[in-house]
Each structure stands twice: as structure tokens, then as C-alpha cells.
Chain A
Amino acid sequence: AQKITQTQPGMFVQEKEAVTLDCTYDTSDQSYGLFWYKQPSSGEMIFLIYQGSYDEQNATEGRYSLNFQKARKSANLVISASQLGDSAMYFCAMREERRQFYFGTGTSLTVIP
């Protein structure tokens, strides 16, 4: 079974609009961490936001927020006020306690002017 599932291969959003990128995960651990990374065309991986399994509040970092629904095992990334520079691949990742990271297959986001 896939540990991380991202069902949207590609997404389009109008500049200045908000967009939600979906991520579901599979784990039987109680303690785990969820991460989102951005990968521009240059290839570097840029850390965006983190959510711990015990965190009761949804994480926020500037224009990024993580919509964490533990019972549904989902960790969707919300980007508000999209900018042209947000066009990139976005990867959801999970780390279970004392284990490796697992990455999803990514969502390609295109921001339209």
C-alpha cells in the first residue's frame, strides 16, 4: 500500500486565488510527522511546512497552511493568494517514528496570470 497518495497530477490556479493540493497518508503509528516540499524547475527541494500528528492546530507558514484531518488521514496544503513563482511541483511526505521519509508522486501546480 502507498504510504503517501497525491491524486492530482496537475493543477491550475489563477493568480491571487487560493488552491488546495491534496495528500492522504497511511500509517498505523500514533506518532508521525507530515511535510510539504516545493520543487521548482531548477530541481532543488524547498521545505514549506510541517505538521506533527499530536499538533491540535493546523500548521501555518505565511501563505501556506496545512489542513490536517487526522481521522481522514489527510494533510492538504493550502496556498493562499497564489503568485506566479508558486508554479512548481509540490510533494507531500511523511516520517513515522524512527523510520525513513516517504514521498508522494507530487502535484504540478501552474499559476495562470
Chain B
Amino acid sequence: DGGITQSPKYLFRKEGQNVTLSCEQNLNHDAMYWYRQDPGQGLRLIYYSQIVNDFQKGDIAEGYSVSREKKESFPLTVTSAQKNPTAFYLCASRNQDLYNEQFFGPGTRLTVL
């Protein structure tokens, strides 16, 4: 089955700890994205990568870091510098074409205690 997996589905962390969210895709997509969603709000772009070993900041990159060492994987680290990390995090991927939609993973709900 082709798709995007995110793990874990729910994550609890203490304030001040770094935490890494996993995102893996087997769709052979070049581009991958991380979004943050807060209750009642739309998606805000954190980081995106259009090719291996390259990534760009989105609108709210502060306090986050990413890596793209493999085409299939795009992990997101939420660092202690992120002031309000409790949110729903969505990973997406797509083929590099204007007309192709993004495919989304099931999301990870991060709660910082």
C-alpha cells in the first residue's frame, strides 16, 4: 500500500524537551511538507523540501528543525525554543508538478505538559 505514515499518533512531552516527529512516504514523491494546525485554524507551513538534502523554511519555522537525508523520510524536530508547541502536526508529500495535489499523513497530536 502506498501512502504516508506519521508516528506516533499522540505524543506527550515535558516542557523544555526536544521531540522528533516521524514522517515516511513510499509514494516516490520528491516534495515533502510539514504543517502545524491549531484548533479552529487552517494549516500553517513549517518547512518543506523539494529534493533530498535540501529544504526551505515556511511561514512558522522558528523553533523547528528538519532533515531530508532520504527521499522517503522527512522528520521534524520540535525544539525547546518553540514557545507553544502543543498542536496537531501534519506531514504531506506530492509529485513536483503544479497540478498535483498533496497527500497527507494521519497527523501527530503533540501535547507539551
Q: Which residue of A lies closest to B59 (CB)?
A: A100
A47 interface residue (CB < 8 Å to B)? yes
Query: 1/0 contact trace for B75-113 toward A, CB 8 Å?
Result: 000000000000010101000001101111111010000
Using C-beta atoms within 8 Å of the partner chain, give the interface range for chain B: 20 to 34
Enumerate chain A residues within 8 angstroms of B101, measured Cβ to Cβ: 35, 47, 50
A101 interface residue (CB < 8 Å to B)? yes
A44 interface residue (CB < 8 Å to B)? yes
Q: A44-B106, A106-B42 are in contact. Are A33 and B99 (CB under 8 A)?
A: yes
Interface residues of A in 4-50 (CB under 8 A from B): 4, 31-33, 35, 37, 42-47, 50
**Contact across chains for A43 and B45 when beta carbons are under 8 A apart:** no
**Contact across chains for A45 and B90 when beta carbons are under 8 A apart:** yes
Q: A44-B107, A45-B92, A95-B98 are in contact. Are A101 and B41 (CB under 8 A)?
A: no
Bound Cα distance from A41 to B43, whole angstroms: 15
**Contact across chains for B92 and A43 when beta carbons are under 8 A apart:** no
Bound Cα distance from A97 to B99, whole angstroms: 9
**Contact across chains for A47 and B42 when beta carbons are under 8 A apart:** no
Using C-beta atoms within 8 Å of the partner chain, give the interface range for chain A: 20 to 34
**Contact across chains for A100 and B58 when beta carbons are under 8 A apart:** yes
Interface residues of B in 1-55 (CB under 8 A from A): 33, 35, 40-45, 48
Select one of B42, B98, B107 contacting A33, CB under 8 A.
B98
Enumerate chain A residues within 8 angstroms of B41, measured Cβ to Cβ: 105-106
A103 interface residue (CB < 8 Å to B)? yes
Select one of A31, A97, A98, A103 contacting B42, CB under 8 A.
A103
Bound Cα distance from A50 to B98, whole angstroms: 11
Interface residues of A in 85-113 (CB under 8 A from B): 91, 95, 97-98, 100-101, 103-106
Q: Which residue of B lies closest to A42 (CB)?
A: B106
Q: A43-B106, A44-B104, A100-B58 are in contact. Are A91 and B98 (CB under 8 A)?
A: no
**Contact across chains for A31 and B88 when beta carbons are under 8 A apart:** no
Enumerate chain A residues within 8 angstroms of B90, measured Cβ to Cβ: 43, 45
Enumerate chain B residues within 8 angstroms of A50, measured Cβ to Cβ: 99, 101
